[in-house]
Structure 1
């Protein structure tokens, strides 16, 4: 199917700047949620859309107490189910459904961040294209073949990988490996700073002492050992990992590719887990 059969529904810039002029590793977009302007993190590792309880209360949305949620660190936090709410995304208006509210992570209010978007769940049929080369988010409608053709035409110098998605995971998970170890289900996580693998998935890799890699949305620390440069292998292509972190305990999946690899690439993902994950990487790897 030709690239002309892919249709761009909207596009808007990605920023890494927070309120006050600081910079963060995660991609951010400025949108209007329920009529209020806020920044939201684009996080392909998030299974649902998350809005802070503070933003939800300001908008005046109805909530119902839900089960405790679990974050990247494995820690739990209270959560609330939120009624449907409008999202103005560039030139179009969408409805956020099945949204969850959590207490605001400590840095979010000062950063002007009101929550986290799961980009693969923005639209039931369109692909979210997270362009970390030109720093923009696009929603593109079309079949896998049409969107692939559109991506190739748009960025002909990049290598386009068409990857089967691991359907049992609601986040964006494909098969990948740290060379020379076997491939395992691995999350492509735009919300994460580091590339992290469980120690059981990379036996023999030993790093420095345990260090803080970051924090979950609950505020709990994520710790691991830095083992230095490594090679990530995806669909026979090799990408450089500037610094791999090894963790003694991770909930599934046991591998996670963070922004230290994803910057400079383009990722296209959709809501239907049977659709391919399209990942454009530098032609020679990195």
Structure 2
């Protein structure tokens, strides 16, 4: 048994509570990690609220958390690239990060030059950014609209796209205009979306998705990460492609270690305060990347 934050049911942040839960021994190709920090992302909030039941059934006993960083505690058969005691960042598409022990199918070694906080903040946003850019097939010379470009996923996607020669239009609040200019993007107010674009990456989940679809001339090159309205509008809700996860993690971690990628500012809070973090993120009063300290 291990300490974890579990959902009693779908609903408001109060459905989250501390409990003891069982984390099985790693199976073939898996590792189990003693978690130092776990990241909190917008999809966690959407799952908890019940907005994504069709994709993440969840329910009582679910442990949220797509990303974490920690030390390898045990390894399953067939694992040869890491050993007990190694430091890693893990991506958890089946959730489980809000716990002292996490079972992982996907990981990347944590370079010594990367802090624990950065390592925990990277996996979900880095994997999602690389994945969606690939799914949108954006190429040099094209224009990409990123909704939520100042957030964790949007910031990584913006930097990766700019490095590939893509013109990025970044939808953010006016207070974030200078930030996204520094990432190489052209800022635009959420409420003043205009012009024509080749593709749209919605990393916000709360933006004017219908307007973004119009700017792209249809839904064929529009992808959202967490907007529950997406399927009803004909927009694909991006899903993990297992064979692409490890390459994406290595690409993102390499960028972070070399200084080519800059992450969102982070706030670290104890695991017991996760419900309050969810409230603050939903209300917009917390605009940093939240990490839970185990």
TM-score class, shorter: under 0.3
Question: TM-score with structure 1 length normalisation?
Answer: 0.26
Q: Which has the higher helix share?
A: 2
Structure number with higher relative contact order (C-alpha < 8 Å, ≥ 6 residues apart): 1
Q: Which has the higher strand share?
A: 1
